[in-house]
Structure 1
């Protein structure tokens, strides 16, 4: 068995993933096709989180993939169109969908005929997920589409808290983990991952004409938005990346220093991928345009699996 086959063997998804922890009525029985759709969306557009999710316990894997698929769909809105009105319309669809899902005594037949929306309804019914955290995932993306930039690094942190941390809060809710330390770790990990995502998205800013690196850091090192849009690597831009990456790493280390319940460590496995990216960025001397950063680390699947076994993140 070669290296790539071994990786697939370790992380291959099961063909049928079902919610086994709670009894569902016929109306909310799991639809394998819809679940496969959710899994494929996450696999295609959020592969690192997909790998981490596959390593969760079987009972949590399906609802976690549904939540991840919902988050991917919302996050992809700005990637699917450069027209702000079209993007706003698509986000409004998800606002309306959440409103429908959380109406009292709602039934599946009233939920939009969208596989992610339908599966999200089932998960919300089964697990009693809080509407507020799901809404944050949509609202945060809408606010970024309106402002199109961040003034300060603190603004980036807030965006990360609103656009990434809610996923971890929701996963903790799925696991029935009500623990202030786990919540604290979720907050820091969400900020770390969100800030790292800002650095990772610099390469695609040309398409959207949007520079998400905070203005105060760009000004500090005398880097213009045009330099970023043109992909002009420079020592000053590397200093910008270093400062932003340092803030992400600070949150990551804070999350790891918090003692959390052992059954929550599987939820925080994406910390491994965040750390992996920051290390590779450091190895590239903080050149955010380095082509090596586009490649999946060949050791990441093994590192994820190893840490899952040790209940670490």
Structure 2
């Protein structure tokens, strides 16, 4: 196992400053906001601005990384946000595919020393070619490519609900790959640690799916206007939006097996929301599946580390998993009513719950 340990107490020192800096908002991939400005020209500042707008949980988690790696962590998250928000910026599937292909080619070019002149890609290239990161193996190109391929396949999602296998495969190619890239940054290389964060990636993917149910069902929780003079960072002006973002097609995204098991009728969900027959049971089964992955991850950590307390080098990735555990806790408190508008408030970190949970994990080193 190769672990680059940070200076003693770095997570604790970072954690102490968190309460005054947290309490903002994250967006999940399916409900990603369109940035309100074109962003500054400085790559590092541009990346941070983008992540602050669309993925606030990553801003919170970045505080638990060594200071010299924080900008690289945010560059990775910015790349993920850029690819995830493609469907929000263009309505045409062909154009969306072209856009995702551009990002895949861009990251491959960055690994080959041919970085496009784009703020996110310039910042990501710095992470890729940082000697301090490369010394411990460096970032793995395949993780970025897999993320792009998963997002592209999602552009032509069928109208029928996905199977549990399809959902977990997607989570492995997106959420788990982000965890792997965090491990790459920290110089961590061991099979059992990969297994831990594969489990946590699936758990996070399942909870993100749960959070996106109202969006895909056509129940919009937030209004995200697009300023008339806004541009994407690729220089392409998005389609003006006077109201909230809408799904490409209305559908129920819970696992097909659970919907069938509890006789959930889609049209009834559209009309009755959480009161639709069997819906809470299907949500419960999905949440239980996510929690099972968290339990498995905890078990592996206890076997690998005495009592499950991870070394300082793993604090950052472990803190990232707190979004999943927080979402599951809040969902249970609300009797698995996935349409409860307070869920987004809590899970997004807008209040105190998510920042507090992150701080506790950062201090204890335990999930």
* TM-score relative to the length of structure 1: 0.84
Residue aligned with 2:257, SS: helix
CA contact (8 A) 2:147 2:177 kept: yes
Shift in CA distance, 238/11, structure 1 to aligned 2, threshold 3 Å: closer
| Consecutive unaligned residues in structure 1, runs of 5 or more | 1-5, 13-30
**Which residue is 1:289 aligned to?**
339
Q: How many residues align?
A: 286
2:273 is aligned to 232
**1:125 counterpart = 2:129:** yes
RMSD: 2.3
How far has the Cα of 1:47 moved from its partner? Answer: 1.5
Equivalent residue in structure 1 for 2:110, among 101, 111, 118: 101
Kindly report which structure 2 residues correspond to 1:1-313, keeping only aligned pairs within 5 A, or say none: 9-11=20-22, 33-103=42-112, 106=113, 110-126=114-130, 127=133, 128-148=138-158, 150-205=161-216, 206=218, 207-208=246-247, 209=249, 210-229=251-270, 232-234=273-275, 235-259=277-301, 261-262=310-311, 263-295=313-345, 296-313=350-367
Change (3 A) 1:77 1:224: farther
SS at match of 2:352: coil
Distance 1:229 1:48, change over 3 A: farther
Aligned equivalents of 1:87 and 1:36: distance in 2?
26
CA shift in 2, pair 1:306/1:39, >3 Å: same
How far residue 162 of structure 1 moved from its aligned partner, in angstroms, is: 0.7
Q: Secondary structure at the match of 2:317?
A: coil
Instruction: State the distance in 1 between where 2:60 and 2:271 align.
Output: 33
Q: Is the 8 A contact 1:181 1:258 kept in 2?
A: yes
- Relative to structure 1, is the Cα distance of residues 58 and 231 closer, same or farther in structure 2, using a 3 angstrom cutoff? farther
What secondary structure is seen at the aligned counterpart in 1 of 2:181? Answer: helix
After TM superposition, give the deviation of residue 300 of structure 1 in Å. 2.0
Following TM superposition, by how much is the alpha carbon of 1:135 offset from its aligned partner in structure 2, in angstroms? Answer: 0.6
The Cα shift of 1:216 comes to: 2.3
Range with bigger deviation, 48-57 or 223-232: 223-232
Higher relative contact order (CA 8 A, sep 6+): 2
Q: 1:202·1:228 contact (CA, 8 Å) conserved in 2?
A: no
Task: Go from structure 1 to structure 2 and tell me whether the alpha carbon gap of 1:252 and 1:231 turns closer, same or farther (over 3 Å shift).
Answer: farther
Secondary structure in 2 aligned to 1:266? helix
Match of 1:19 in 2: none
Alignment partners' CA distance in 1, 2:208 and 2:194: 21
Output the TM-score relative to the length of structure 2. 0.72
